[in-house]
Structure 1
Amino acid sequence: MEKPTFTVARRSAGEWLSSLPTLFILLIVIFLSSGQIIHSQLLKIGEATWDEYFLLRGAGMVAEPTCNPDPDINQRVREVVEQRQAQADDPLADILGGSEVDEDAIRQSLEASRANCRAKWMRYETVQEKVTPGVIAFRNIEGGVASVVSTLGDYKRLLLCLLVVICAATATLARHHIALRPSRTRKDHYVSTIAQLTANAMLLMSAAVYRAEDAQAMASGVTVGNFYLHAFWMAGFALLTAASLFQLIRPPKDLEAGGSWPKAFLTIPLYTFMCLTASAQFISQGYYHGISVYLNMMMELSTLFLNLALYIWIGMLLKQTKLAHLVFDVLRPWKMSPELMCFVVLAVAAIPTAYTGASGIFVIAAGATIYQELIRVGARKQLALAATAMSGSMGVVLRPCLLVVIIAALNKSVTTAELFASGYKIFFLSLFLFFIYSQFARTSPARIAPFSEALPRSLKRMVPLMPYGIIVGAILVLFSDLLGRHLDEFSAPIILPVMLLAVLLFEKLSRHLLHLFSLFLAVMLVLSFMGIWEGYQALTSGNVPAGISAAQLEDVLWAEFWRDLVLGAFLVIHYLVKTGDQDPHYAPEKGVSEKMEGALRLATNETTGHIGALLMLMALSVSTGGIIERSGLLEMLPETFASVWVAMAILVVTMVIIGMIMDPYGAVILVNATIAQVAFDNGIAPLHFWMITLVAFELGYLTPPVALNHLLTRQVVGDDEVESARLTTGSFFRRYEKFILPIAVMLTALLMVSFLPLISDGLHEWLFQKIQAG
């Protein structure tokens, strides 16, 4: 990308117009989610401080009751009786309930009304008597938080729309959209840009037609929700069209001469291919606004896609830290052979992959480091590229992967707990298969340093990780003990950015801040141990609090005890064990700043481009799913098959094909709407089916023609480095090992997960165990 010539306050126009708004939107999303947590805690504080706070918080907002608390019951009874008797001559009296008057029933009804009125007056008077200036002040704070959170919550669709538009325009101008090969020559540029210009113009036309259709529907009396969003989509697609036109008129100056026309078509971004094919199909059906209709489906899951944007930011913040280098420092003393090191890297990388949404973000964040470290230990380039690509997909079945959360949100047949419980077993199966295949493919003997030599050095190099353990532990305790929110698949998008910002403050601003985290953690651990002791006393005395069983209380106490013990060990080791400099291999990378402001700015700049590239790809994947759905191809599948084996074979092939050509997030929506019920009708358990889907998508990440993780690996490793890994001699496997090894591992895992449980009921029950709620 060319260096910007126009700057304001040492920041380019792009940073002011794209990165800064993106940062604001991301912070608003974090505040929106954390604000709900804070508000619930404020309610708990209010109830613990003032009796009947839920009643008192209405002071000044609840009007004085207008009913009479002391009516003359006898007079009211006579009035009602006279009124009923006056209606006795009505010819419809019998139809409406008869002409007989029950004075006792009338009296009881009037007495009940009086009791209800007196209760209203009593509540009103109680509020007036107990309310204090402190209650009013606290109520204003709590109510203000609730009002802001509620207001922002109503505009999540707008936040996602703005995020997509701003980031997509940035990705367009930066030539950052995902394609099968980068644009280098003038032919590449013109083919790619003209295709994008056409696609963006079609998006604009679709949005305009969709707005006209909704306006016509509103004129005929039909209620249309969120009509205002049409204007933002139209403005956004107009901006994308203008950006493509600008790129066409003013091509970059660093383009090479020449090029090949066939290869130039490979530089067209994947979202553009999807948009052009979907538009052509919809237009041929007279469904001119089809893309916008399916794009609107993405808005229905706005919370989840906003969380995905946060995960991308998390990945870019992780890239600015030294954590990846420090973890490799721990592994180096073992002097493992390349294949064994790849196995360990995949096992370790699966965790941050799951915590960054398993959307390839971890490859962008740490792929360059992983590749270089594998090359350092002697891995051949094809093997290093294969492991780097796989590092961004192995965690797709682990907690708290966002893809699993979307599956559970779309249907009620499975829960996240069930999916993650089965996912751990399938993850270890995949990891074991990689170990087996990699050992058969090795070119040198397997090796590992002697245990007595490697373990002391490895433990010594774990000491520099203790400050990170303290910071992460302090944030976890802050959220769990003070805000009542543990780290899980629902809270991870909120807690993880706070953790990484705290780590960056420690690394880039001042290492003395660690003492503040340590002090806070020490105080909270003392309070926690006191709470554990009180809980133990209640357990031994039999005075278990209501709402929890003795067994549940015991499990909670043990979990908190081990948590506190580990965090306490971090404090002790950091302050008592001195080892000197244990990070001799770290050197600043390109795109990584040593200053806090620079790190945050670079992370957000990268986040903006990646959000635009990935969300546009996902948005158009939904439209591609719409083509498949409307084409009737999936309806050609019979509702029932001759046997469950035939059904499984056809479904597995279908899922692999979908995983190869579509982004998994868009594919999940399509599969849930079309294929899932076919599987259920043929006797395939929902949990079994969705685990097959996840493994198939994991295979799709790594399989051409798209192979998203390989494309992302090429981005971070460099096109020249990837080209240098090409081999012209050797066996077919050696020449294409970066593709064949991951495909062999995941295809074997997919076949085993799909068919072996059909043979053994015991294996099926163990792999796909239903978890009873509550």
Structure 2
Amino acid sequence: MTERTLGMPRRTPTEWFSTLPTLLLLLIVVFLSSGQIIHSQLLKIGEATWQEYFMLRSAGVMPEPTCNPDPNIDQRVREIVKQRQAEAAGDPLAGILGGASVDESAIRGSLEATRDNCRAKLERYQTVQEKVTPAVIAFRNVEGGVALVVSTLGEYKRLLLCLLLLICATTTTFQRHHIALRPARTDRDHLVSLSGQLAANALLLVSAIAYRIQDSESMAAGVTVDNFYLHNIWIAGFGTLTLASLYRLLRRPRDLEPGGSWAKAFLTIPLYSYMCLSASAQFFSQGYFHGTSVYLNMMMELSSVFLNLALYIWIGMMLKQTRLTHIFFDALRPWRMSPELMCVVVLAIAAVLTAYTGASGIFVIAAGATIYTELRRVGARKQLALAATAMSGSMGVVLRPCLLVVIIAALNKSVTTSELFASGAKVFALSLFIFFIYSQFARTTPARIAPFSQALPASLKRMIPLTPYGVVVGAVAVFFSDVLGRQLDEFSAPIILPVMLLAILVYEKFSRHTLHLFSAFLVPMLVLSFMGIAEGYQVLVSGEIPGGTSAAELEAALWSETWRNLLMILFLGVHYGAALLSRNNSDPVADYPPEEGVSEKLEGSLRFATGETAGHIGAMLMLIALSVGTAGIIERSGMLELLPDAFASIWIAGLFLVVALVLVGMFIDPLGAVILVNATFAPLAAANGIAPLHFWMIALVAFELGYLTPPVALNHLLSRQVVGDDEVESARLSTGTFFRRYEKFLLPIAVMLTALLIVAFLPLLSDGLHDWLFQKIQTAA
């Protein structure tokens, strides 16, 4: 056993100035989101513990009223009447305007109302002083402190996103990790790539300065400008980013190969740089020098969404530090499936994990290397393994609780997340079935699977190491659900999932004995939950249903909680039962060879995960930010105004939208493209009779098809990053059919294109199919 020390380990400047700030910012975002939940629960606890807590919490904050509770009303009436008569006597128009007469009853009523209000204030103040206790004061200080911190931080979400983007983008520049069509491997690659980055960053700096000058002039003219301080942050950040790219340009990496091709070198310029250069050229030609910064600031309007994206990336990188993917594949091995069938199972599991890691690219980064290695281990050819790795992040974007769907629902009020996810589950099943069909036609070996009588017991035995993870994840879920009153859904996932991954890392990396702490918390919570379920069924039987809910909703909630509790009991029982039967204190999880960038210690895992997170956040957010700028070019170019308001038929409109959305997905990141599509193509689709829910399902599938289609094919670029450039190059074939030589591109394109055409056009042939596939969910008013 390795002895743990408490000494301060040595850290590189990158870890001090990049990893540590990124970790702090991410923890602040988690606290900010969970702090709102915590404060809400604190208020409920206070009200349940002390009657009229909302009034008692004002003790020591509100001063004692200084008004007179017993004024001489008769005297005050006479004084006011006399004063108003004197004022009327000096006014020559009083008689004409009716001001000569004074209404004594109205004056008396006003004075009596003032007196009653004063007495009520004093009575409330005295009640608070009599009932307040030191315990109330202490609890109020905690609850008020949480409220103050949360409200203060909530006003600076834009600043948090701005700092996160700039710090991580600088980190990505130093790591040479920006997303490009090919990596820089030669001297010419390095020169062209960094020159492109330097030019793009310098243009961003010029745009930020011009934007600040513009807003300064507006303020001088009396126009109110919000968040003006952010201009200084942007200027400092883009200045640092420019210096970082200049430094990287002048400091040649030692691993570069001499020479290189000038033509191929231009493919190493990051995609964000191309977007920035084209957008800046367009804006500068129009004299709109601050245009790029204006569209960049549009991200700030959705700061919560993009902060959640950063959390999802962190979730994915922490997932990479765990053994979960290894255990999943370990449980699948006894089935001895053929490579094509294994790909189907892997894509089904990956889709769920993709939905919980926010977006397709994040999951490819987190688990792509493991997926590729395991598929190769079961005999998958390299082209097939690369195709499945790229697709592993594509099918789950339509499943709950994917961030992309949440953004669509936030921008478009004609669809809800529930409707999108309900239709998305059907689209996912269709896509998976299509992949199964194509993969079977493309297989090179006979389809096979081990006999159930042999595979099932062995697979179940290998799933026992998953039960501790079920206990850990269940304890966190029960804590948020039963203590903080927040279920795991598409809105709370960015808050709860990081806590779950942190808990898993504590269990894996710190000490396996921490599982007993999670179990000790979970068992009494389950007991209390079953007691609550029993009370709920008594209410259901008596028919005294609380207001705001129906008997069916209450029954569904009780059944859901019952099944959850039974699942937790299963995890606890299997884990501790297996431990008692084996009487073996060894590590219940199989040992796996150490991987590069995966630590065996908690501190190292957090450091590695956050370091990788910083690089990926910088790459993804810069790409998304400049995608918004590219969308601005399209918006200002007037191209969209040339589109007809209505097409000759819904079929022509559908065909146009399919082609347009695929092109958008090919060149613009989906998270950025959603903003453009919502403002342009969504109204066009509605005007031509395409239902909003139908349109957004088309858009989601089209975006993922674009993600898999050259010339950009972002998912393939990310697969190359995690699998390794040398390994991808080794998969090239010079012989065989055209399909075999380019299978890694053609198989995903064939699957997603077929799914897109079916989703787009088949529902137009049948109203029944359309209504079933894109069912509107009625909600109570």
TM category, shorter: over 0.9
How many Å separate the matches in 2 of 1:278 and 1:96?
Answer: 66
Question: Within 5 A, what are the aligned runs for 1:56-205?
Answer: 56-82=56-82, 102-205=103-206
Shift in CA distance, 584/151, structure 1 to aligned 2, threshold 3 Å:
closer
How many Å separate the matches in 1 of 2:725 and 2:427?
Answer: 33
Cα offsets for 1:520-567 (capped at 9, x unmatched): 111111111111112122222333334333222211111111100010
Question: Within 5 A, what are the aligned runs for 1:610-689?
Answer: 610-689=616-695
Instruction: State which drifts further: 217-226 or 67-76.
Output: 67-76
Shift in CA distance, 681/117, structure 1 to aligned 2, threshold 3 Å:
farther
Q: CA deviation at 1:190?
A: 0.3
1:14 equivalent in alignment to 2:20: no
Question: Within 5 A, what are the aligned runs for 1:24-423?
Answer: 24-82=24-82, 102-423=103-424
1:449 equivalent in alignment to 2:450: yes
Q: CA deviation at 1:238?
A: 0.8
Instruction: State which drifts further: 127-136 or 106-115.
Output: 106-115
Residue 461 of structure 1 contacts residue 582 of structure 1 at CA under 8 Å; is this kept in 2? Answer: no
Cα offsets for 1:260-315 (capped at 9, x unmatched): 10000000011111111111111111111111100000111111111111111110
1:762 equivalent in alignment to 2:768: yes
Equivalent residue letter for 1:194:
S
How many Å separate the matches in 1 of 2:453 and 2:777?
Answer: 43
Instruction: State which drifts further: 202-211 or 751-760.
Output: 751-760
Cα offsets for 1:721-740 (capped at 9, x unmatched): 11111111111111111111
- Matched position secondary structure for 1:360: helix
How many Å separate the matches in 2 of 1:645 and 1:125?
Answer: 73
Q: CA deviation at 1:375?
A: 0.9
Report what 1:4 is aligned to: none
Instruction: State which drifts further: 735-744 or 67-76.
Output: 67-76
How many Å separate the matches in 2 of 1:766 and 1:532?
Answer: 34
Residue 329 of structure 1 contacts residue 583 of structure 1 at CA under 8 Å; is this kept in 2? Answer: no
Q: CA deviation at 1:188?
A: 0.4
1:532 equivalent in alignment to 2:533: yes
Shift in CA distance, 97/620, structure 1 to aligned 2, threshold 3 Å:
farther
Cα offsets for 1:427-471 (capped at 9, x unmatched): 111111111111111122211111111111111111111000000
Cα offsets for 1:750-770 (capped at 9, x unmatched): 111112222222222212222
How many Å separate the matches in 2 of 1:21 and 1:406?
Answer: 27
How many Å separate the matches in 1 of 2:563 and 2:98?
Answer: 69
Residue 168 of structure 2 contacts residue 617 of structure 2 at CA under 8 Å; is this kept in 1? Answer: yes
Cα offsets for 1:373-411 (capped at 9, x unmatched): 111111111111111101012110111111111111112
Cα offsets for 1:155-177 (capped at 9, x unmatched): 11111111111111111111010
How many Å separate the matches in 2 of 1:271 and 1:235?
Answer: 19
Report what 2:755 is aligned to: 749
- For structure 1, list consecutive stretches of 5 or more residues without a partner in the other structure: 1-7
How many Å separate the matches in 1 of 2:300 and 2:448?
Answer: 52
Equivalent residue letter for 1:119:
A
Residue 14 of structure 1 contacts residue 170 of structure 1 at CA under 8 Å; is this kept in 2? Answer: yes
How many Å separate the matches in 1 of 2:102 and 2:460?
Answer: 90
Q: CA deviation at 1:63?
A: 2.3
1:558 equivalent in alignment to 2:565: no
Residue 35 of structure 1 contacts residue 149 of structure 1 at CA under 8 Å; is this kept in 2? Answer: yes
How many Å separate the matches in 2 of 1:73 and 1:555?
Answer: 61
TM-score w.r.t. the length of structure 1 is: 0.96
- Matched position secondary structure for 1:666: helix
Residue 504 of structure 1 contacts residue 596 of structure 1 at CA under 8 Å; is this kept in 2? Answer: yes
Q: CA deviation at 1:318?
A: 0.4
Report what 2:519 is aligned to: 518
Q: CA deviation at 1:113?
A: 3.4
CA RMSD for the aligned pairs? 1.8
- Matched position secondary structure for 1:629: helix
1:598 equivalent in alignment to 2:604: yes
Cα offsets for 1:225-245 (capped at 9, x unmatched): 111111111111111111111
1:542 equivalent in alignment to 2:548: no
Residue 375 of structure 1 contacts residue 384 of structure 1 at CA under 8 Å; is this kept in 2? Answer: yes
- For structure 2, list consecutive stretches of 5 or more residues without a partner in the other structure: 1-7
How many Å separate the matches in 1 of 2:95 and 2:363?
Answer: 76
Residue 430 of structure 1 contacts residue 745 of structure 1 at CA under 8 Å; is this kept in 2? Answer: yes
TM-score w.r.t. the length of structure 2 is: 0.95
How many Å separate the matches in 1 of 2:362 and 2:768?
Answer: 37
How many Å separate the matches in 2 of 1:98 and 1:652?
Answer: 74
Equivalent residue letter for 1:44:
K
How many Å separate the matches in 2 of 1:228 and 1:399?
Answer: 37
- Matched position secondary structure for 2:113: helix
Cα offsets for 1:705-753 (capped at 9, x unmatched): 2111100000011111111111111111111111111111111111111
Equivalent residue letter for 1:54:
F
Shift in CA distance, 49/184, structure 1 to aligned 2, threshold 3 Å:
same
Equivalent residue letter for 1:551:
A
How many Å separate the matches in 2 of 1:674 and 1:64?
Answer: 58
Residue 471 of structure 2 contacts residue 572 of structure 2 at CA under 8 Å; is this kept in 1? Answer: yes
1:690 equivalent in alignment to 2:696: yes
Instruction: State which drifts further: 634-643 or 469-478.
Output: 634-643
Cα offsets for 1:100-125 (capped at 9, x unmatched): 65554544444333333322222122
Residue 360 of structure 2 contacts residue 396 of structure 2 at CA under 8 Å; is this kept in 1? Answer: no
- Matched position secondary structure for 1:11: coil
Identity %: 75
Shift in CA distance, 80/708, structure 1 to aligned 2, threshold 3 Å:
same
Instruction: State which drifts further: 763-772 or 294-303.
Output: 763-772
Residue 87 of structure 1 contacts residue 99 of structure 1 at CA under 8 Å; is this kept in 2? Answer: no
Equivalent residue letter for 2:766:
S
Q: CA deviation at 1:359?
A: 4.0
1:608 equivalent in alignment to 2:614: yes
